[in-house]
A and B are shown apart, each in its own frame.
Chain A
Amino acid sequence: MTSKANDERKSDIVYDVDNLNLWYGNDQALRDVTLDIKRNEVTAIIGPSGCGKSTFIKTLNRMVELIPIVRTSGEIYYHGNNIFEKTTRVEDLRTKVGMVFQKPNPFPKSVFENVVYGPRIHGIKSRKVLEEIAEISLKRAALWDEVKDRLHDNAYGLSGGQQQRLCIARVLAVEPEVVLMDEPTSALDPISTLKIEDLIHELKQTYTIIIVTHNMQQAGRISEKTAFFLNGEVIEYDRTEMIFSTPKDKRTEDYITGRFG
């Protein structure tokens, strides 16, 4: 392999997680997690409740540090830079790595103010530019047609599914590279869920998406890669169709065939 091809392959790797361990106080929640996340792919994280899925993706943007008792060991490289290094500004990391939460959490502001919150704090002041960003982001989040006439109404007036897409628009408005999603459809009805799944299909052209889901059909529908977590360990990590058709580990097979979890 030539060195150029090698470089290209390397730059395809967005996250390189190396022997990551994490403890809440004395309880270990992640054990020796090692995996690579590729650019412009959807990676699904599946596994039973409490196996560490949320903990894992919250570690990728260091949100997990908000809990004071958390300790970690091991490395996470984001484009080759160790995110735990002192020189990494956590605000910069989170600007490049956006996050959508399990429960929609729009700010108690207007739809417009929600979307432009990120651009505003990052210094964009021009009203015209902000309006443009709002329109682009809401269109990307497939919400524009539903809200274009109520941009200045409070976001709490939207339905749950619309609020979640608003939260996605809010993340897209800062043009991240990676979008982390923690069970983004678990609080939504089936139709809103489908809309968000369609949206994820669109978004993967531009973004790298890491999504936690406990819905295995969903993982099968939307992801290229799937990681199966159990008790804080990655049991199996492979192409999604491999995981679902020919799992190598007995425990993966048990889980996807519904024998536990």
Chain B
Amino acid sequence: MDGRINIRELIMKSAGGALHRRADRIVSVFLLLAASISIITSIGIVLTLVTDAAHFFSEVSLRDFFGKNLAPLGSNPSFGVLPLIVGTLASSLLAMIVAVPVGLTAAIYMSEFAPAGLRNTLKPMMEVLAGIPTIVYGFFAYSFVTPMLMKMLPGLEAKNVLSAGLVMGVMIIPMVASLSEDAMNAVPTALREGALALGSTKLEVTLKVVVPAAISGIIASFILGISRAVGETMIVVIASGSSKKLTFDIMQSMQTMTSYIVEFTGGDAGSGTTGYYSLYAVGLLLFIFTLIMNLIAQYISKKYREAY
């Protein structure tokens, strides 16, 4: 080799190639295992839900299940979940009424208008907000927001879905803002330059180019926000109470699917009773709810996608 190195030979000589190929295979087996764990767990959860819910539906008809009367502990128990569905939808809707406009505005500001320095402080701050335990939000709703709202709305009950929903919205803002901001940040600068060079103002660039280009990510952030709201438990347990009466009045207490489950896993319903199995039926319903939402999200984001 007369003093010069022969790269080709060095590569061929070192056994690295074969070793790497084996390591590659081992790594991919590990990755497959890791992926399987989450899939197997999901299947397990669904199976438990379905088998125990099947018990429940052998005793309660679907018609009664989707009925208006919920009195699981009465001497003649009834298991209509409409009040829970209304409670869940009302609290989630209220939350999104807060989280979508505020979160999206914050995202637009951070991604398109804030100077880089400010943005780099705002985003971590928002993420801290997202890390506050939900029980703190629940307590905040019950002991601060409700009394404050009572001064403006005299008819407001001490436990009500209104303040639970609003505070839940505040809790979800960082998630919507942060994910939407990521989506807008990923839009190539060249698109903004093209639009600016045509005489657009910054706001026009944002609304007509950046937001449409990022829309699938933005919608995904909304749907994740809704999923979070539907699944949220502590805030509604504390601030919205456990009224099982069917009502559409957001100034009153409403129970959600999640807080129903919390109440009955507390031990009120003995194992093997219909009340006990109703937990699984409600759990299954909750699961189907979030599943449908995710499917809608996928459909919407595919339909409005402006891929760049």
> Residues on B close to A: CB < 8 A?
115, 188, 190-191, 193-201, 204, 208-209, 212-213, 306-308
> CB distance A103 to B306 under 8 Å?
no
Taking a contact as CB atoms closer than 8 A, the residue among A98, A107, A122, A156 that contacts B197 in the complex is A98
> CB distance B306 to A98 under 8 Å?
no
Is A63 engaged at the interface, CB distance under 8 Å to the other chain? Answer: yes
> CB distance A121 to B193 under 8 Å?
no
How many Å lie between the Cα of A258 and that of B74 in the bound state?
96
How many Å lie between the Cα of A121 and that of B209 in the bound state?
11
User: Known: A107-B194, A107-B195, A156-B307. Contact between A91 and B208, CB under 8 A?
Assistant: no
Output the nearest chain B residue to A100 by Cβ-Cβ distance. Answer: B197
* Across-interface contacts of A108 in B (CB, < 8 A): 191, 212-213, 306-308
Number of interface residues, chain A, beta carbon within 8 A: 29
> CB distance B199 to A107 under 8 Å?
no
Is A196 engaged at the interface, CB distance under 8 Å to the other chain? Answer: no
Known: A91-B199, A95-B199, A101-B193. 14 other contacts (CB 8 A): A91-B200, A93-B199, A94-B198, A98-B198, A103-B190, A105-B188, A105-B191, A107-B195, A107-B213, A107-B306, A108-B191, A121-B199, A121-B204, A154-B307
* Across-interface contacts of B212 in A (CB, < 8 A): 108-109
How many Å lie between the Cα of A38 and that of B194 in the bound state?
25
B251 to chain A, nearest CB (A): 43
> CB distance B209 to A101 under 8 Å?
no
B84 to chain A, nearest CB (A): 42
Is A247 engaged at the interface, CB distance under 8 Å to the other chain? Answer: no
B191 to chain A, nearest CB (A): 6
* Across-interface contacts of B308 in A (CB, < 8 A): 108, 156
User: Known: A92-B199, A121-B199, A174-B199. Contact between A167 and B213, CB under 8 A?
Assistant: no
* Across-interface contacts of A171 in B (CB, < 8 A): 197-198
> CB distance A167 to B194 under 8 Å?
yes
A251 to chain B, nearest CB (A): 32
* Interchain residue pairs with CB less than 8 A apart (20): A61-B197, A63-B193, A63-B196, A68-B115, A91-B199, A94-B199, A95-B198, A101-B190, A107-B191, A107-B195, A107-B213, A108-B213, A108-B306, A117-B195, A117-B208, A121-B198, A121-B208, A122-B199, A170-B198, A171-B197
